[in-house]
Amino acid sequence: MTLIVIEAVLIFVGAGIGSVLRHVISGWVGFRAGPGFPWGTLTVNLLGCFVLGFFASSMPQDRTFLFVLSGGIVGGFTTFSTLMFETANLALSGQNRRFLLNAFGSLFLGFLAFFGGVALGAFF
């Protein structure tokens, strides 16, 4: 098997594990905290950012591991952490304009896209 096929299989399996972990942890935190605020989602997003940041700084030489971790387990756990990782890399590499574009573009354009979908969905 080629490396890309092996990585794809690992990402597939990892994403499944991450998705199940997201469901369990988010549900548990949401149940404990009660309704009114999405504490479960916030917890999962922050935990995913922390885990990805930890491994990115402690294992920068193992690109395959980091790729599988970010695209697989943590990627399935939360894509927010991947957004933070990629955006932080732009800042750390001195690409300030791209950093700002990705940070604010993802947030604001993401909201615009979401509400655009809501508006379009209202017609169906």
Task: Report pLDDT digits (tens) over 52-105.
Answer: 888 877 766 777 777 788 888 888 998 787 788 888 989 999 999 999 998 998
Tokens 């750390």 belong to 92
Query: What would the mean pLDDT of 18-41 be, rounded to a whole number?
Result: 90
Mean pLDDT of the chain: 86
Q: Evaluate if residue 113 carries a pLDDT over 90.
A: no
Q: Cα–Cα distance between 7 and 15 in angstroms, integer?
A: 12
Amino acid at 93: S
Query: What would the mean pLDDT of 8-21 be, rounded to a whole number?
Result: 92
Give the N- to C-terminal CA distance of the chain in Å, as an integer: 46
Query: What would the mean pLDDT of 41-62 be, rounded to a whole number?
Result: 81
Known binding residue 78? Answer is yes
Q: Evaluate if residue 41 carries a pLDDT over 80.
A: yes
Query: What would the mean pLDDT of 5-24 be, rounded to a whole number?
Result: 92
Q: Evaluate if residue 12 carries a pLDDT over 80.
A: yes
Residue 30, SS3 per DSSP: helix
122 DSSP assignment: T
Among residues 85, 77, 87, 86, which one has the least CA distance to residue 41? 77
Q: Cα–Cα distance between 96 and 81 in angstroms, integer?
A: 19
Any idea what the Cα angle at residue 107 is, between residues 53 and 94, rounded to 5°? 55
Residue-level pLDDT at 60:
63
Among residues 25, 19, 18, which one has the least CA distance to residue 40? 25
| pLDDT above 90 coverage of the chain, percent | 29
Residue-level pLDDT at 120:
86
Residue 96: partners with Cβ closer than 8 Å, 6 or more residues away: 90
